[in-house]
Amino acid sequence: MAVEEYLVQRLGHQGMADNFQRLYEDILSRAKEQIQDYQVIKEFATDNYVRVLIKARINTAVLEAVLENMGLREKGTIQIDVLFLVSGKGKGSSASGWWTNPSVHTSLSLTELFLSQVFEESGFRVINRSFFPPEEGYDEDMLQISLADEDAVKWGKLLSAQMVITGEATVSGEEMASVYLRAIRVADGATIAQGFREGKASDNQGGEGAAVESAINKWARDMVPYIEDAFKSAEEAVNQITITLRGLRSYKELHDIKEFFAGNFPEVKSVIERRLKRELVSVSIKLQGDARGLAKRALNHPKKPFLFSIREVNEQGFTLVRR
């Protein structure tokens, strides 16, 4: 059901109908392969059945590759996963944000709703921040209302975002609001767009919400083109590196480490094995970024399929040794 819902959002109802047989044969019949994580929220049983409420995270990197191979992803388009870390501050109140207490499931704020609407209309994919990582996945600095850029990037990596929008939306009166927002690319931590915009409620639609929506729309109108250009440039600058895997004990471990790199790092575009020998395996990785950065993130990642060390890091790649 989770994979089907993603496909509906991705292709639309007509796209699903037009390609249903191929989607069923290539994706839906093997849907469990596309689930990266899941979490059971509630369950209850009666005499005849059990109902379970589950949150599921889709492995979008793998699924998008399958769709592209099927010809159902438009060539040359940029798919950008965005996470919102924007605090809200009402008149006479202090700023608040979901990340200060991520284990409490709060509904989306008006600021998040307006941001989601404008970015989805521009073709971005909005990360569902309610699927939060376990407590050991974040540190104290990541729980502060005013996030440093490096801490915002950490949230982006934990929730598999390619970009985070951070900053503050402030209501200054019943009819006025302002936003100061920064767009940060997760792969390299670069700020690719930032600015301050004010909004005012219209004559036809008054209130604080309308003022916030106006400010966000103005910011997005001016900044989204810069964001798209920055990711287009990054798409063009794809590097190819080689990772040498030593000490693997089974083919399953090779599959698991390939899935680890393909499913947990948005900058990784493809993972293909190139050379298989008894003592080592070489895989070729295309990524937006450099080998040193990927090696560091892989070594510290909480979802490693098994313990490993990393050696011989250079611009061309590195060696991963199974421990």
Mean per-residue pLDDT, 7-16: 72
Report if pTM > 0.95.
no
Long-range contact pairs involving 140-148 (C-beta distance under 8 Å, separation at least 24)? 142/99, 143/99, 143/100, 143/101, 143/102, 144/100, 145/87, 145/95, 145/96, 145/97, 145/100, 146/87, 146/95, 147/85, 147/99
Q: Which of 33-42, 61-70, 83-92, 144-153 has the highest mean pLDDT?
A: 144-153
197 has pLDDT over 80:
yes
pLDDT recorded at residue 75: 42
pLDDT recorded at residue 148: 94
The answer to whether domain 81-234 has CATH 3.40.50 is: yes
Question: CA separation (Å) from 292 to 141, 274, 316?
Answer: 24, 21, 9
Task: Identify the band that residue 206 occupies on the pLDDT scale cut at 50, 70 and 90.
Answer: low
Q: What percent of the chain has pLDDT over 90?
A: 24
The answer to whether domain 239-322 has CATH 1.20.950 is: no
Q: What percent of the chain has pLDDT over 70?
A: 90
pLDDT recorded at residue 172: 83
pLDDT recorded at residue 76: 45
Mean per-residue pLDDT, 110-121: 89
Contact criterion met (CB below 8 Å) for 173 and 154: no
Task: Identify the band that residue 82 occupies on the pLDDT scale cut at 50, 70 and 90.
Answer: very high
pLDDT recorded at residue 12: 66
Arithmetic mean of pLDDT over the chain: 83
The count of other CB atoms within 10 Å of the CB of residue 206 is: 13
pLDDT recorded at residue 139: 84
Mean per-residue pLDDT, 299-306: 86
Domain boundaries, the chain: 2-69, 81-234, 239-322
Task: Identify the band that residue 11 occupies on the pLDDT scale cut at 50, 70 and 90.
Answer: confident
**81-234 shares its CATH topology with 239-322:** no
Contact criterion met (CB below 8 Å) for 181 and 83: no
Q: Which two tokens stand for residue 27?
A: 């994706």
CA angle 180, 182, 188 (to 5 degrees): 165
H or E element in which residue 110 lies:
helix 110-121
Comparing 83 with 158, the larger pLDDT belongs to: 83
pLDDT recorded at residue 164: 95
Among the listed residues 259, 263, 255, 268, the one whose alpha carbon sits nearest the alpha carbon of residue 295? 268
Mean per-residue pLDDT, 279-308: 86
Task: Identify the band that residue 234 occupies on the pLDDT scale cut at 50, 70 and 90.
Answer: low
pLDDT in tens, 118-141: 888 887 888 877 765 556 577 889
Cα of 233 vs its chain's centroid, Å: 19
d(CA 239, CA 168): 35
H or E element in which residue 226 lies:
helix 208-236
Question: Tokens 């069923």 — which residue?
Answer: 24
pLDDT in tens, 135-191: 657 788 999 999 999 999 999 988 888 899 999 999 987 788 999 999 999 988 999
pLDDT recorded at residue 44: 87
Phi-psi region of 133 (alpha: psi -120 to 50; beta: other; left: phi over 0): beta
Mean per-residue pLDDT, 280-307: 86
Contact criterion met (CB below 8 Å) for 286 and 304: no
79 has pLDDT over 80:
no
